[in-house]
Amino acid sequence: MNAPTNPKELELQTVEFKLDGKTIVSYEGETILKAAKRHGVDIPHLCFKDGYRPDGNCRACVVEINGERTLAPSCCRSATPGMEVKANSERAVKSQKLVLEMLLSDMPDEGFKWVGDSKEEEQQNQHGELSTWAARMDVTVRPELKALRREKVASDISHPAMAVNLDACIQCNRCVRACREEQVNDVIGYAMRGGHSEIVFDLNDPMGDSTCVACGECVQACPTGALMPKGLIGSQTVDRKVDSVCPFCGVGCQITYNVKDEKIVSVEGRDGPANHNRLCVKGRFGMDYIHNPQRLTKPLIRKAGVPKDENAIQNPQDWSTVFREATWEEALEVAGGGLKKLKDKHGLKVLAGFGSAKGSNEEAYLFQKLVRTGFGSNNVDHCTRLCHASSVAALLEGVGSGAVSNQVNDVEHSSMIFLIGSNPTANHPVAATWFKNAAKRGAKIVLCDPRSTEISKHAWRTMQFKPDTDVAMLNAMIYTIIEEGLVDQDFIENRANNFEALKENIKGYSPEAMAPVCGIPAETLREVAREFATTKSAMVLWGMGVSQHVHGTDNARCLIALVSITGQIGKPGSGLHPLRGQNNVQGASDAGLIPMMFPNYQRVDNPAAHAWFEKFWDTPLDQKPGYTVVEIMHKITAPDSDPDKIRGMYVEGENPAMSDPDLNHARHALASLEHLVVQDIFMTETALLADVVLPASAWPEKVGTASNTDRMVQMGKKAINPPGEAKPDLWIIQQIAKRMGLNWSYQGPDDGVAEVYDEMRQAMHAAINGITWERLEKESSVTYPCLSAEDPGRPIVFNDKFDTKDGKVKLVPADIIPANERPDADYPFVLITGRQLEHWHTGSMTRRATVLDAIEPMATVSMNGEDMTQLGVSAGDVITVQSRRGEVGIHVRRDDGTPRGVIFIPFAYYEAAANLITNAALDPFGKIPEFKYCAVKLAKGGHAAPVMGYGTNDPKRQKVTSVS
């Protein structure tokens, strides 16, 4: 890596040297190229890219150094005291221009990459950075050189997202470094020798047939257009660039939208604190979902006499027989009026609201405020109930805060990275790059998961434990640490409570006793435990494989105990990090979009908090916690005599008809509602059961903030307007509030978003008081807790105390609690569900993105090859997966990383909805469903839906092919 240029970070020593006769100052280890640029001297360069390892192979940046016989590449040469450098000497400039001319002479007549604000500038810059430097250096190619250009290389357009034109390749190796050193995907290489040398994908495969994961890092790195986004071949002129934040996973990558003709034509990674220019396939190539022709553009009202049929919501593309178009005034009156009518008739407990983790903090805050002050109850929840509710319950109990202790890229300082129940290369791809980078520099990754996933290639140890045995495995590690005297005694004595109870509880959990339970050899359990306890710094990161169990809270309690008894928390590279799934699931929870907590996790049944919010909102509030997502579904089908029976719902940007467990029951419940209002950007499976559908705005169409998994509050900016008559979500929420009798008056641009944020900031003053709207507009990202304008924010918390009443961590013993439903003779397999790289959540967005749908169009079930042989099926065949609640027909994908007796199904496909099968049994503390474990049986054959995504009608796509 290049030496940082900020001396405040590392207190770097300075070096004085002469550049073109002037004395300048560089920092120790800084290259001549970077020092020159800081002092306003631009030296041509092509193989160099800021942030990448300098390679020095193009020689466009050579400079003359007094006393040295040969010219030196300034990109990989550091200045020394007294050195005299000439970047603009006749000899240096002549060499620089010669390199540019020779490279330019080999370029094709038409470039893939044109950059400019005018046609003239486009022609000047048709080969990207190479043309730009040639123009600046006044380089023209002599005819004699042009006549000697290399033989034309055929283009490769086999990949859905990217085009390869090696005719424009200058072999600078930036793409190789991007792929192998930054993203660590190891797809792009450099093959052959001399004049036959070339860039290759895997074993010289077409890019579309390679193992490329389409992160696009190579595209962003390429200086000439040899690698291009497919949709941008031709003119690169755009109307404007808008900085924002990625709307997909919780990593919170900062991005730049390129807008042309009021469409987002491409996305670039920005140097944000969470991603440092990196993106994944969704962030770079998945943004065109907002331009899908199925966008809702007008308010819709259910036609009179059309029943709600939960059995007829497959493929919700043609809704014209169900709904009629309406004006906004009519739709809002029916929507808000229907909710108010139910409240007035039946009381305060009969309404509920599902908010969204895909929207902004401001929307989440305003939505929960609407439910509490307008509906009159705390019946408000969102998808955190379906992902990390148990993690938050354990963290609040143990350390007093539901947020992460350290940020993801703090693994740079970790000597061990303990990953459990997470598949980061698929679910958090940019975060996974930090893990892979750490492994390359020597950190030990320990992967703990029932499935052996891609990150295992980089792991020091992979502990592939039996599903549902997390507590057994973790308690065996805790046992080893205590038994062998490896605890951090000082930490236990000064910063922990209840250690003796923990010590007593684990007496029966020796590795030898737990090995047959969890399937990990005792010696491996002891080895990993010893390394965790004695290593300099260990970070624990986990996903929903930990949380989505009836014992999810106990799983997280064990992780808290593991870091506490070893003192691996409250310092760089050590701590607890539940990786958040959606872009704003952290922020939505912080803002109070949960039934038992006001904003900033203040319990609704805490008298002091209750009184404060009653005064702050000037409204009487319900003193009891509301119902959670799954509980609300049960309350909808409660008898009419139940005073808490849910009769009406307002759903903003959620899709419970796809995301809830036991979908047959959930869909029946939604169809049973007397009044359902759905606010979304597409006609989702949930919207098809609504009485009123309100067309909303996608993330790039509005202004707002989101809080990522790292506790960074980040600014999202509006790139384009919503289509048709679609409206910003914040406006719609305020209109519903008005019709519920609330007298809100948020003023200012974008429906008063800054005023809403400031009110939220007051409600969350203990966390974000120092993060003003103006500060975010200026800085884009600020980490909380941040209590004043001068506070830079705290990336690492719990340095000296925890957020508990006494400042100490509470250790909570955990025992083995079996899954609610175990395999038996009738249902012998275990089903695990989850996400995949290309698709996200319920697929309503990503499956409407052209590239993402093209790469992964078909629902598949992953199976071990031996199980496939026993069942008599091959990759691509159809099988039927059945549980006690439902069944799906689905195509088989071979995956030997999935153990025998286990299958894996992603939950993004409506035509093979995994949650038709899953178990709605709840963790008693986090109230989270057991998505990660249920019993199923398999049968060869069955009916699978055609291979097509939302809005894809290409008959070629319906051909079933092998997906192994």
pLDDT at 238: 86
pLDDT at 99: 97
Residue 848 to residues 143, 292, 581, 585, 701, Cα–Cα distance (Å) = 49, 6, 19, 22, 17
465 or 145, higher pLDDT: 465
pLDDT at 336: 97
pLDDT at 117: 44
CB burial class (10 A; 0-12, 13-18, 19+) of residue 263? middle
Q: How confident is the model at residue 947 (pLDDT cuts 50, 70, 90)?
A: low
First to last CA, the chain: 37
952 has pLDDT over 70? no
What is d(CA 601, CA 117) in angstroms, rounded to the nearest whole number? 49
125 has pLDDT over 90? no
What is d(CA 14, CA 206) in angstroms, rounded to the nearest whole number? 48
pLDDT at 148: 86
Q: Tens digit of pLDDT for each residue in 676-731?
A: 999 999 999 999 999 999 999 999 999 999 999 999 999 999 999 999 999 999 99
888 has pLDDT over 70? yes
pLDDT at 950: 54
Looking at residues 471-489, what average pLDDT do you find?
Answer: 98
Contact, 568 vs 955, CB < 8 A?
A: no
Looking at residues 112-136, what average pLDDT do you find?
Answer: 66
Residue 244 to residues 154, 720, 755, 779, 840, Cα–Cα distance (Å) = 37, 12, 20, 12, 19
260 has pLDDT over 80? yes
Q: Where is mean pLDDT largest: 230-244, 619-633, 944-958?
A: 619-633
267 or 960, higher pLDDT: 267
DSSP, collapsed to helix, strand or coil, labels residue 835 as coil
pLDDT at 951: 46
Q: How confident is the model at residue 531 (pLDDT cuts 50, 70, 90)?
A: very high
What is d(CA 220, CA 886) in angstroms, rounded to the nearest whole number? 45
Contact, 114 vs 234, CB < 8 A?
A: yes
pLDDT at 1: 35
Q: What percent of the chain is predicted at pLDDT more than 70? A: 94
Q: Which residue has the tokens 């019993």?
A: 935
Q: Which one-letter amino acid corresponds to residue 960?
A: V
pLDDT at 5: 42
Q: Could you tell me where the beta strands, DSSP code E, fall in 759-886?
A: 781-783, 809-810, 829-834, 860-863, 878-882
User: How many CB atoms neighbour CB 773 within 10 A?
Assistant: 18
Q: How confident is the model at residue 110 (pLDDT cuts 50, 70, 90)?
A: low
Residue 213 to residues 23, 51, 490, 556, 585, Cα–Cα distance (Å) = 47, 21, 46, 31, 25
963 has pLDDT over 70? no
pLDDT at 961: 29
Mean pLDDT of the residues in the chain: 92
12 has pLDDT over 80? no
Question: CA-based angle 421:426:432, to the nearest 5?
Answer: 80
Q: Tens digit of pLDDT for each residue in 738-777?
A: 999 999 999 999 999 999 999 999 999 999 999 999 999 9
Looking at residues 96-124, what average pLDDT do you find?
Answer: 69
Looking at residues 272-299, what average pLDDT do you find?
Answer: 96
589 or 952, higher pLDDT: 589
pLDDT at 760: 98
DSSP state of 257: E
Chain centroid to CA 577: 14
Looking at residues 632-640, what average pLDDT do you find?
Answer: 95
Q: Tens digit of pLDDT for each residue in 155-214?
A: 999 999 999 999 999 999 999 999 999 999 999 999 998 888 999 999 999 999 999 999
Question: CA-based angle 92:94:97, to the nearest 5?
Answer: 105
Q: How confident is the model at residue 358 (pLDDT cuts 50, 70, 90)?
A: very high
pLDDT at 121: 45
233 or 56, higher pLDDT: 56
CB burial class (10 A; 0-12, 13-18, 19+) of residue 924? middle
Question: CA-based angle 654:316:940, to the nearest 5?
Answer: 100
Strand partners, 444: 416
